[in-house]
């Protein structure tokens, strides 16, 4: 007979005949579990009960499981972070959680965490406070510390406990990068103690672990040596060098604060935990963390678009160039059957070769690569059009070519299929003129490189219905992209705001200014890549085409025009404004400048100005959508919250 069950808002608990306690978390709202303040307070009460039961020999151990299909615990409740950033509230709340996790760790009976799906942030910190961890070894399990993406680092004792388990170098790498690990990798790093094949095995293995009093062992001495004596400052400096390659301290202070904490206390995991609060508190209320939270919520908001129940199995892509081929490969990677059409196999083959490289990079097993390649079928005759749920045109940016393609396939489409163009600048109304049903054509504008950039502009013409746009947003979500709905207008959102910025810098290069200096200034401001390097990456021919479409002249005698005439189109040809070797621009030394970030702000001003214009014209529905669209489409500094937020804050 089991003991009387305890039910709270977030937790349920009961003991069985073997005196094993079964603790289940099931957050009442949302599809994932989070550690809200309320959930933590309820857990305090439950842990007090565990202590009482253990002291009276009525409890031999506790197994912690999740009641949600999505996973274990996705972290702390981010919706509470703004309120928690108050200096009068946060330190005490952190101390309380630290004390609670220490009580769990100090229980006289074993506590076992059974992990499936997401085990992130505060969820991993709670799991690390347990004595033993079992994880499901499947494609859905993800374990890690993503806090750095929100401008902070683990604050519930995870810094010290991860170092205890994985060793200083591996643990710091996980925290500094925010990388999510599969279960097998987490086991290899000693963050997980045992792997099981299925979720339904967690209860059985959890029971065995309790009855045999399993306890995780810390990292081996060979790993801990890297945090001892004179090695620790050396390791810390190497970490700073690596961090500097990815983020500037003034933009993203969290990695550097974590490294400082490690340099002070990395040889003592308990001291690391004690020092965590003082280092964590200033970060939580910083402008960087505040803006990154804003970006997080805006990004999450994009995921709520689209239509419930919308399903897409077959995609047909017309045009196997860089964009078309990569769109097709991405759709196949996301599990869809894809037919890729072009004039002949000679044109399609390079796209298939690139697709295989993508699959080999993304998949661990050869059979997964082979399966993805089978999903991607060359289709020179276009036979896949009539079976496709989504047809995407991605040919050259010429109006008459696009019109000819769509008028030629309109009668072959199956009912309800999405008809889309990947045009980067041409108004949809002009393309749709030749169609019998112009309202059927929407824009799905992807960005290069397709596999890396998350944004898809879902372009709405005056002909489109809400249903057509909803389907487009649903498809973008189905392939793991973030849709931003924009009105059909020259350049839409991203290219419209990018062109004045990029062309303005190109004009300065034409006048003799150092391209290396201008690129360095943009990066100092917070852009991920300088505008000259970006133009080379996009392709000078593409840049000219978009510029012309938007009414920006490219003078015939300019260096820009000469490079295009000579076939020096940037990265794809090995030379543009820069020479390119092994996929990287070869740059000279940038001249000294007294205010590099100030120069960057000057360069970025046309982008910010144009974002305001685009918003005023109704191309996007809100400042929030404009900000998240420009961040995702251009890489505009996330720590500034977007161009409009940055200007409102006086930072752009």
State how many domains the chain has. 3
Claim to verify: residue 280 and residue 323 sit in the same structural domain: no
pLDDT of residue 4: 65
Claim to verify: residue 127 and residue 220 sit in the same structural domain: yes
Question: What region does 415 belong to: left with phi over 0, alpha with psi -120 to 50, or beta?
Answer: beta
Question: For 288-298, what is the mean pLDDT?
Answer: 96
Claim to verify: residue 210 and residue 352 sit in the same structural domain: no
pLDDT of residue 157: 98
The reply to whether 445 falls in a domain is yes
The reply to whether 294 falls in a domain is no
Active site amino acids: 445
Question: For 629-650, what is the mean pLDDT?
Answer: 96
Q: Is it the case that residue 148 has pLDDT exceeding 70?
A: yes
Distance CA 627, CA 647 (A): 11
Claim to verify: residue 349 and residue 452 sit in the same structural domain: yes
The reply to whether 302 falls in a domain is no
Query: Which two structure tokens, joined as six digits, stand for 302?
Result: 């994009």
Percent of the chain with pLDDT over 90: 90
Cut 0.95: pTM above it: no
Among candidate residues 488, 514, 535, the one where a domain is terminated: 488
The reply to whether 295 falls in a domain is no
The reply to whether 298 falls in a domain is no
Q: Is it the case that residue 549 has pLDDT exceeding 90?
A: no
The three-state DSSP-derived secondary structure of 245-266 is: HHCCCCCCCHHHHHHHHHHHHC
Distance CA 600, CA 526 (A): 8
Distance CA 405, CA 390 (A): 15
The reply to whether 301 falls in a domain is no
* CATH at 446: 3.40.50.720
pLDDT of residue 1: 41
User: Could you tell me where the beta strands, DSSP code E, fall in 148-209?
Assistant: 180-181, 194-196
Among candidate residues 442, 461, 488, the one where a domain is terminated: 488
The range of the structural domain enclosing residue 12 comes to 6-285
* CATH at 622: 1.10.1040.50
Claim to verify: residue 505 and residue 469 sit in the same structural domain: no
* CATH at 85: 3.90.226.10
Claim to verify: residue 47 and residue 193 sit in the same structural domain: yes
CA 397-459-528 angle, 5° bins = 75
Q: Note the pLDDT tens digit of each residue in 322-374.
A: 999 999 999 999 999 999 999 999 999 999 999 999 999 999 899 999 999 99
Provide the Cα torsion 148, 151, 155, 157; round to 10°.
Answer: 20
Among candidate residues 453, 488, 523, the one where a domain is terminated: 488
Claim to verify: residue 212 and residue 358 sit in the same structural domain: no
Claim to verify: residue 599 and residue 546 sit in the same structural domain: yes
Q: Is it the case that residue 425 has pLDDT exceeding 90?
A: no
Question: Could you tell me the pLDDT band of residue 85, with boundaries at 50, 70 and 90?
Answer: confident
Question: Could you tell me the pLDDT band of residue 560, with boundaries at 50, 70 and 90?
Answer: very high
CA 182-238-175 angle, 5° bins = 30
Q: Note the pLDDT tens digit of each residue in 586-610.
A: 999 999 999 999 999 999 999 999 9
Question: Could you tell me the pLDDT band of residue 3, with boundaries at 50, 70 and 90?
Answer: low
Per-chain mean pLDDT for the chain:
95
Claim to verify: residue 95 and residue 227 sit in the same structural domain: yes
The reply to whether 305 falls in a domain is no
Claim to verify: residue 251 and residue 381 sit in the same structural domain: no
Claim to verify: residue 462 and residue 508 sit in the same structural domain: no
pLDDT of residue 84: 85
Percent of the chain with pLDDT over 70: 99
Query: Percent helix, strand, coil in the chain (nearest 5)?
Result: 50, 15, 35
Question: What region does 157 belong to: left with phi over 0, alpha with psi -120 to 50, or beta?
Answer: left
Claim to verify: residue 527 and residue 418 sit in the same structural domain: no
The reply to whether 328 falls in a domain is yes
């Amino acid at each position: 007979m089991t003991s009387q069950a305890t039910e709270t808002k977030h937790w349920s608990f009961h003991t069985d005949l073997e005196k094993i306690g079964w603790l289940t978390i099931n957050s009442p709202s949302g599809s994932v579990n989070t550690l809200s303040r309320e959930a933590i307070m309820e857990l305090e009460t439950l842990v007090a009960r565990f202590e009482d039961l253990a002291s009276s020999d009525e409890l031999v151990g506790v197994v912690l499981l999740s009641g949600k299909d999505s996973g274990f615990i996705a972290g702390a409740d981010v919706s509470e972070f703004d309120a928690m950033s108050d200096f009068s509230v946060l330190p005490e709340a952190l101390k309380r959680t630290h004390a609670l996790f220490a009580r769990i760790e100090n229980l006289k009976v074993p506590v076992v965490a059974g992990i499936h799906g997401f085990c992130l942030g505060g969820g991993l910190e709670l799991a690390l406070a347990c004595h033993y961890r079992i994880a499901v070894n499947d494609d859905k399990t993800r374990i890690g510390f993503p806090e750095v993406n929100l401008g902070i680092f683990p604050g519930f004792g995870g810094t010290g406990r991860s170092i205890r388990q994985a060793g200083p170098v591996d643990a710091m790498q996980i925290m500094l990068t925010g990388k999510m690990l599969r279960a097998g990798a987490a086991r290899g790093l000693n963050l997980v103690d045992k792997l099981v094949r299925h979720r339904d095995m967690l209860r059985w293995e959890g029971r065995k672990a309790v009855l045999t009093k399993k306890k995780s062992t810390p990292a081996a001495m060979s790993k801990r040596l890297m945090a001892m004596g004179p090695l620790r400052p050396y390791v810390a400096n190497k970490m700073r060098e690596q961090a500097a390659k990815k983020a500037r301290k003034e933009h993203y202070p969290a990695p550097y604060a974590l490294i400082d904490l490690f340099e002070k206390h990395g040889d003592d995991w308990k001291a690391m935990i004690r020092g965590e609060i003082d280092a964590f508190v200033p970060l939580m209320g910083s402008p960087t963390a505040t803006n990154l939270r804003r970006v997080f919520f805006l990004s999450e908001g994009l995921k709520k678009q689209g239509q419930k129940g919308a399903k897409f199995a077959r995609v047909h892509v017309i045009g196997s160039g860089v964009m078309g081929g990569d769109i097709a490969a991405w759709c196949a990677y996301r599990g869809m059957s894809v037919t890729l059409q072009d004039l002949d196999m000679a044109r399609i083959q390079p796209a298939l070769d690139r697709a295989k490289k993508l699959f080999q990079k993304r998949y661990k097993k050869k059979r997964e690569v082979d399966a993805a390649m089978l999903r991607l079928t060359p289709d020179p005759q276009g036979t896949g059009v009539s079976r496709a749920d989504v047809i995407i045109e991605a040919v050259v940016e010429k109006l008459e070519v696009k019109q000819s393609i769509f008028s030629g396939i309109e009668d072959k489409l199956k009912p309800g299929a999405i008809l889309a163009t990947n045009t980067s600048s041409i108004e949809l109304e002009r393309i749709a003129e030749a169609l019998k049903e112009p309202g059927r054509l929407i824009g799905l504008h992807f960005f290069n490189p397709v596999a890396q950039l998350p944004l898809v502009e879902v372009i709405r013409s005056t002909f489109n219905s809400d249903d057509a746009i909803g389907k487009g947003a649903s498809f973008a979500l189905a392939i793991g992209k973030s849709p931003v709905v924009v009105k059909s207008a020259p350049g839409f959102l991203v290219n419209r705001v990018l062109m004045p910025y990029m062309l303005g810098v190109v004009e300065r290069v034409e006048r003799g200014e150092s391209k290396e200096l201008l690129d360095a200034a943009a990066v100092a401001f917070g852009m991920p890549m300088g505008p000259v390097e970006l133009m080379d990456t996009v392709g000078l021919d593409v840049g000219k085409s978009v510029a012309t479409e938007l009414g920006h002249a490219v003078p015939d005698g300019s260096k820009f025009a000469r490079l295009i005439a000579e076939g020096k189109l940037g990265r794809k040809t090995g030379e543009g404004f820069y020479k390119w070797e092994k996929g990287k621009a070869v740059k000279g030394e940038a001249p000294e400048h007294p205010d590099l970030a100030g120069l960057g702000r000057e360069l970025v001003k046309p982008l910010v100005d144009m974002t305001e214009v685009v918003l005023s014209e109704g191309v996007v529905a809100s400042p929030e959508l404009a900000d998240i669209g420009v961040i995702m489409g251009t890489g505009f500094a996330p720590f500034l919250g977007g161009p409009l937020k940055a200007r409102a804050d006086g930072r752009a």
